[in-house]
Amino acid sequence: MSKVISAELTSQIGAQPRGKMIAYWTVTLLLAASVMLSGIGQLMQFGGNLELVTKLGYPSYVLTILGIWKVLGAIALVVPGFPRLKEWVHAGIFFLMTGAAISHMFASDYGDYGFAIILPLFYSALNIVSWTLRPASCKL
């Protein structure tokens, strides 16, 4: 009898609550989709990306570099396993998005209602939430 109780307790302690897992995947899939679409847009130089990058003072080839990193990072977020890679992806997304917000501030490009700064900071917050909610299998 005690073996059954200890097995139940062990499984309850080791398992992540269902609500937390749903929240993790919801936030992570939203983040991955946003990063993926942004990366594809940059690779295709779609939607004013070229004008935006030159307005901020960066060379146009930065779009290719960022686009490739974003697409690969979005894939890495949703592929099972590879906890160290996921840690690097989360760090990269954080630096990328906060860097984008800072670049817009330095270039005095706030957009309508500060959208050019608020959006990357929102993605940074999504990234932090995803990292915080990650399951034990994704932790180092």
Instruction: State the total domains in the chain.
Output: 1
In a domain, 59, yes or no: yes
In a domain, 13, yes or no: no
The closest alpha carbon to 35, from 117, 120, 137, belongs to: 120
Query: What local confidence, expressed as pLDDT, does residue 43 receive?
Result: 96
Q: How far is CA 85 from the centre of its chain?
A: 13
What is the value of pTM for the model shown? 0.83
Task: Give 112's DSSP letter.
Answer: G
Residues of the chain below pLDDT 70: 1-16
In a domain, 90, yes or no: yes
In a domain, 9, yes or no: no
Query: What local confidence, expressed as pLDDT, does residue 9 receive?
Result: 45
Please state, in angstroms and as integers, the Cα–Cα distance from residue 114 to each residue in 99, 104, 117, 120, 121, following that order.
Answer: 15, 10, 6, 11, 11
In a domain, 96, yes or no: yes
Query: What local confidence, expressed as pLDDT, does residue 118 receive?
Result: 96
In a domain, 132, yes or no: yes
In a domain, 130, yes or no: yes
Tell me phi and psi for residue 124, to 5 degrees. -65, -40
* Segments forming the whole domain that contains residue 114: 18-138
In a domain, 115, yes or no: yes
Please state, in angstroms and as integers, the Cα–Cα distance from residue 96 to each residue in 35, 41, 88, following that order.
Answer: 10, 16, 12
